[in-house]
C-alpha cells in the first residue's frame, strides 16, 4: 500500500484517487483545526514539542520523532494493510468474506459504534486542555501533548470511515463530533467518563491508566470486526494507544515511588505535609477512575452487545483465543440483583459480551496494581493498593444506583454516605492535589510530588528539551 505523506492529509488509503472524498475531508480539515484552536491544549501552541508522528504502518518504523508546533502536526489517515482473503471471525456470519462495504442491514448499528468510539477521542483532548499550565516536568508536558495529538488523529480515523462509507449522514455525524463538548450541559459527549473533569495530573495519570485502557479493549473488540476498514483502522490505533497507557501506568507508579520515599523521609511520615500524595488518597483516585472506566463497557446484560456480536461487528478481545466463535449456546455465570439481594444467574453468553470484555480489562488493571505494589514492596512499605470490587460506585449496568462497598457488599444509603469520603476523592483531597499542581517547566527538573521517570522518550534522557520556545 503506498503512503502519501506530502498531501494535505497524509494517508495510506490512496485518498487522491477519490476526489470527492478528498475534497470533503479537506473541507473538514479547517473545522478540525478551529476545534483544536478552541478547545485543544491551552497555551503552548507556538512552542516546539518533541512529538512522534505516524508516517507508515510498518511495525519497525511507523513513527517519526521531531520537534513540531502542535497546529502543524501532520494528522493523517492510516489503516493496517488489507489481509487477502480475510473472513469474519465470529457471530452469525462466521467464515464469510469480511465486508469491504457497509452491509445495509447493519448500517445504523455500525454507524453508532463508529460515532461512539469517535466521540471519545476529541472528548479527552477537551478534558485535558488546561493541564499544560501545571505540568510536573517537560517530559510530562510532552507526553500530555503526544496523547492529545494522537487522540486528534484517532478522531480523523473515525471521521474517515464516516465520510467514506456513510454518505450524507456520515458527514453530518462528523460535524457533530466537533460540536459536542466534554461536560457541556446542552451538548455533552456521549459517554459519562468523557464528561468528567480532569482537573489535575493525578486525574490525568489515572485517566490514561484506566480510561485509555477501556479504549484498548474497545479497539481490540472492533479490530475483530467483520467490517474490514474498521478492523484495519482500529489495529493501527492500538499501536499509538499503547503509549497512552504507558503514560498512565508509569505515571501512577512514579507518584507511588515518590510517596514511598516521603513516607520514609517525612517527619512523622506525614506525606501530605511533606508535599506528596498520601497512599490513601492515591487509592481514592484509583477507586474513582477505575469505576468510571468500568462503566464504559456498558451493561452486564446487554441486548446491544448481543446484536453487535451476532452481526459480526464487535467481537471479543483477541477472538482467536476462543474455541467457539458463534457463542450461541454458552452462558456466563453472573451475580444479579434481585429484590435487593445478589443471586447467581446464568446469562446467555452473547448478552454477556460486555462483561466478558470487562473481565479482561479488570485482569489487566490488576496486573498494573500488582506492579505498583511491587514498587511499595521494594521501598519497604507494608501498605498495598488495590482495585475496588467491580460493583463499587457504578452508574451503568445492573449494579448502578445501588450502593456497594469497596468489597462489593451491599449497604444502605446512610452506610454509603458515612464512608463516601473514605472511598472517593473528597473536597479536601482535591484541594490538596490542586495545591501540589505548581508547574515545573524547567529542563531536567521535576515537581516534588512525583518521581522522575527511569528513562526518557525515544532514547533521549529525562533532561532532554522536550518542549522549547521556537
Chain residues that interact with Fe ion, rule: CB under 5 A: 121, 151, 154, 212, 241, 244
- Beta carbon of residue 81, minimum distance to Fe ion (angstroms, whole number): 21
Nearer to Fe ion, 154 or 284 (CB): 154
End-to-end Cα spacing for the chain: 36
Residue 193 Cβ vs Fe ion, minimum distance, rounded to whole Å: 13
Look up residue 315 and give its three cell numbers.
467481537
Smallest distance from Fe ion to CB 153, Å: 8
Q: How far is the CB of 212 from Fe ion (least distance, A)?
A: 4
Closest approach, Cβ 354 to Fe ion, in A, equals 20
- DSSP per residue, 298-354: --SS-HHHHHHHHHTSS--TTGGG-S-SS-SS-EEEEEEEETTEEEEEEEEGGGGHH
Among residues 189 and 258, whose Cβ is nearest to Fe ion?
189
Residue 62 in contact with residue 3, Cβ under 8 Å?
A: no
Minimal distance, residue 240 CB to Fe ion, in Å: 7
CB nearer to Fe ion: pick between 117 and 351: 117
DSSP 3-state of 456: coil
Shortest CB 405 distance to Fe ion, Å: 31
- Choice between 364 and 463, CB closer to Fe ion: 364
The residue with cell 464487535 is: 314
Query: CA dihedral defined by 423, 426, 431, 434, rounded to 10 degrees?
Result: 50
Q: Return all residues near 414 (Cβ < 8 A) that are at least 6 apart.
A: none
Burial class of residue 344 (count of CB atoms within 10 Å of its CB; 0-12, 13-18, 19+): exposed
Residue 181 or 216: the one with the smaller Cβ distance to Fe ion is 216
401: its cell numbers: 444506583
Which residues share a beta bridge with 342?
337
Task: Identify which of residues 121 and 300 has a Cβ nearer to Fe ion in the complex.
Answer: 121
Q: Which residue, 238 or 411, is less far from Fe ion as judged by CB?
A: 238
Considering beta carbons, is residue 79 or 451 the nearer one to Fe ion? Answer: 79
Cell numbers at 463, concatenated: 533532561
C-beta closer to Fe ion: residue 154 or 325: 154
Alpha carbon distance 408, 385 (integer Å): 16
To the nearest whole angstrom, how small is the minimum distance from the Cβ of residue 206 to Fe ion? Answer: 14
CB of 241: closest distance to Fe ion in angstroms?
5
**Identity of the residue, 49 or 245, whose beta carbon is nearer to Fe ion in the bound complex:** 245
What residues contact 440, with CB distance under 8 A and at least 6 apart?
135, 136, 137, 446, 447
Alpha-carbon distances, residue 445 vs 62, 100, 132, 425 (angstroms): 31, 51, 15, 28
Query: 122-156 in b/e burial notation, b at 16+ Cβ within 10 A?
Result: bbbbbbbbebbebbbbbbbbbbbbbbbbbbbbbbb
Confirm if 375 and 257 have CB atoms less than 8 A apart.
yes
CB 134 within 8 A of CB 205: no
What is the C-alpha separation between 260 and 373, in angstroms, rounded?
11
Between 119 and 173, CB nearer to Fe ion: 119
Q: For Fe ion, which is the closer residue by CB, 48 or 212? A: 212
- The distance of closest approach from Cβ of residue 208 to Fe ion in the complex, given in angstroms and rounded to an integer, is 7
Minimum distance, C-beta of residue 384 to Fe ion, in the bound complex (Å): 28
455 CB-side CA count, 13 A: 5
Closest approach, Cβ 70 to Fe ion, in A, equals 16
Residue 411: left if φ>0, alpha if ψ -120 to 50, beta else—which one?
beta
Amino acid at each position: 500500500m503506498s503512503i502519501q505523506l506530502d498531501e494535505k492529509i497524509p494517508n495510506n488509503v490512496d485518498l487522491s484517487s477519490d476526489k470527492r472524498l478528498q475534497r470533503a475531508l479537506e473541507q473538514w480539515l479547517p473545522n478540525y483545526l478551529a476545534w483544536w484552536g478552541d478547545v485543544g491544549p491551552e497555551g503552548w501552541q507556538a512552542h516546539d514539542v518533541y512529538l512522534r508522528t505516524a508516517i507508515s504502518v510498518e511495525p519497525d518504523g511507523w513513527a517519526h520523532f521531531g520537534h513540531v508546533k502542535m497546529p502543524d502536526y501532520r494528522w493523517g489517515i492510516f489503516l493496517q494493510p488489507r489481509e487477502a482473503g480475510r473472513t469474519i471471525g465470529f457471530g452469525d456470519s462466521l467464515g464469510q468474506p469480511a465486508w469491504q462495504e457497509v452491509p445495509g442491514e447493519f448500517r445504523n448499528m455500525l454507524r453508532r459504534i463508529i460515532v461512539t468510539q469517535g466521540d471519545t477521542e476529541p472528548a479527552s483532548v477537551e478534558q485535558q486542555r488546561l493541564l499544560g499550565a501545571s505540568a510536573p516536568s517537560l517530559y510530562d508536558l510532552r507526553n500530555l501533548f503526544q496523547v492529545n495529538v494522537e487522540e486528534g488523529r484517532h478522531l480523523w480515523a473515525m471521521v474517515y470511515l464516516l465520510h467514506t462509507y456513510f454518505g450524507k449522514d456520515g458527514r453530518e455525524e462528523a460535524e457533530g463530533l466537533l460540536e459536542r463538548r466534554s461536560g457541556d450541559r446542552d451538548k455533552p459527549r456521549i459517554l459519562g467518563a468523557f464528561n468528567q473533569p480532569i482537573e489535575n495530573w493525578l486525574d490525568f495519570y489515572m485517566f490514561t491508566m484506566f480510561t485509555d485502557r477501556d479504549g484498548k479493549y474497545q479497539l481490540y473488540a472492533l479490530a475483530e470486526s467483520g467490517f474490514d476498514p474498521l478492523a484495519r483502522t482500529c489495529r493501527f490505533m492500538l499501536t499509538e494507544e499503547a503509549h497512552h497507557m504507558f503514560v498512565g501506568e508509569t505515571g501512577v507508579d512514579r507518584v507511588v515511588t515518590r510517596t514511598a520515599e516521603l513516607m520514609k523521609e517525612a517527619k512523622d511520615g506525614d506525606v501530605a505535609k511533606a508535599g506528596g500524595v498520601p497512599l490513601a488518597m492515591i487509592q481514592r483516585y484509583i477507586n474513582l477512575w477505575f469505576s468510571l472506566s468500568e462503566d464504559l463497557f456498558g451493561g452486564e446484560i446487554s441486548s446491544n452487545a448481543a446484536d453487535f456480536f451476532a452481526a459480526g461487528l464487535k467481537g471479543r478481545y483477541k477472538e482467536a483465543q476462543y474455541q467457539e466463535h458463534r457463542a450461541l449456546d454458552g452462558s456466563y455465570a453472573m451475580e444479579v440483583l434481585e429484590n435487593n439481594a445478589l443471586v447467581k444467574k446464568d446469562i446467555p453468553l452473547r448478552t454477556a459480551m460486555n462483561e466478558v470484555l470487562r473481565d479482561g480489562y479488570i485482569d489487566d488493571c490488576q496486573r498494573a496494581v500488582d506492579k505498583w505494589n511491587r514498587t511499595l514492596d521494594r521501598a519497604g512499605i507494608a501498605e498495598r493498593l488495590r482495585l475496588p470490587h467491580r460493583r463499587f460506585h457504578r452508574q451503568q449496568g445492573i449494579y448502578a444506583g445501588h450502593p456497594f462497598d469497596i468489597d462489593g457488599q451491599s449497604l444502605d444509603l446512610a452506610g454509603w454516605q458515612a464512608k463516601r469520603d473514605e472511598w472517593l476523592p473528597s473536597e479536601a483531597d482535591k484541594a490538596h492535589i490542586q495545591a501540589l499542581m505548581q508547574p515545573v517547566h524547567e529542563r531536567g527538573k521535576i515537581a516534588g510530588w512525583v518521581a522522575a521517570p527511569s528513562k526518557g522518550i525515544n532514547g533521549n534522557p529525562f533532561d532532554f528539551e522536550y518542549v522549547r520556545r521556537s
